[in-house]
């Protein structure tokens, strides 16, 4: 059994023939005309619209002493048809501005969206949430907080943000993932990571 994987092709195996901007608003979209090699030989020509989303950081906020996670609830236009409505329970998150490191965004957004100072910021994973049509990369981060300071409604009014802070026992948050009631990808990944690493983290923080 082959336990290692490497891509079968690389950059020289595709060619971008034409790129045109088809929408230029708050978000941007380009139409790409390109070709790439096929696994069975030859090439295929394709045309795709690409959503230029920009990169983002999501940060899982955890209080190891209280064994609690801090999640935020806000309205999401992409979830208008969600079973329980468009208010989702998510991780603190924000767009990466030019020159910012992922850890800087984690610190900034934890303050803006939850009113919390963070310590021990570390990476969990970096992934493409929707590579079929979007160029966004998400840096998923972890940080420790004092959950006793977590309360209220936050966000930047000029950006239309209305963000409510929730403190949940870690086990309760894991159960919401298992029940399918947390349906934001980064929150699911982050909480499953925490379920695997929680005992180690609590041990480190109590040492």
Spatial distance between the Cα atoms of 117 and 135, rounded to a whole number of angstroms: 30
Could you give the 3-state DSSP secondary structure of residue 68? strand
> pLDDT tens for residues 59-91?
999 999 999 999 999 999 989 998 888 999 999
Rounded CA separation 8/13 (Å): 10
- Mean predicted lDDT score pLDDT of the chain: 93
Quick: pLDDT tens for 147-176: 999 988 888 777 777 889 999 999 999 999
- The values of phi and psi at residue 29, to 5°, are -140, 135
The Cα-based distances of 18 to 22, 28, 46, 50 in angstroms read: 13, 17, 11, 13
Structure confidence by residue, pLDDT tens digits, 5-24: 888 899 999 999 999 999 99
Q: Please give the positions annotated as active site.
A: 159
- Residues in CB range of 132: below 8 A, 6 or more apart: none
DSSP type of residue 41: S
Q: Identify the CA nearest to 150 among candidates 62, 88, 59.
A: 62
CA distances from 169 to 67, 173, 193 (A): 6, 6, 15
Is 182 strand, coil or helix?
coil
Burial (CB count <10 Å: 0-12, 13-18, 19+), residue 98: exposed
Cβ count within 10 A of residue 125:
14
Q: How far is Cα 98 from Cα 55, in angstroms, rounded to an integer?
A: 10
**Cα gap 127→12, rounded to integer Å:** 23
Domains, the chain, ranges and CATH? 11-52 (no CATH), 56-206 (3.90.79.10)
């Amino acid at each position: 059994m082959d336990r290692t994987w490497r891509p079968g092709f690389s950059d020289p195996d595709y060619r971008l023939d034409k790129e045109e901007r088809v929408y230029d608003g708050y978000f941007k979209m380009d139409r790409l005309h390109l070709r790439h090699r096929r696994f069975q030989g030859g090439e295929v020509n394709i045309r795709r619209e690409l959503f230029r989303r920009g990169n983002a950081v999501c940060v899982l906020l955890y209080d190891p002493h209280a064994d609690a996670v801090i999640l935020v609830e806000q309205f999401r236009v992409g979830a208008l048809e969600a079973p329980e409505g468009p208010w989702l329970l998510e991780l603190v998150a924000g767009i990466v501005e030019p020159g910012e490191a992922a850890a800087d965004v984690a610190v900034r957004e934890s303050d803006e969206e939850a009113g919390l100072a963070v310590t021990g910021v570390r990476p969990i994973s970096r992934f493409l949430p929707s590579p079929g049509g979007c160029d966004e990369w998400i840096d998923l981060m972890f940080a420790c907080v004092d959950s006793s300071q977590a309360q209220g409604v936050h966000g930047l009014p000029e950006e239309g943000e209305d963000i409510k802070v929730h403190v949940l026992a870690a086990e309760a948050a894991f159960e919401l993932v298992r029940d399918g009631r947390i349906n934001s990808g980064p929150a699911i990944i982050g909480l499953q990571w925490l379920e695997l690493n929680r005992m180690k983290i609590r041990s480190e923080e109590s040492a």
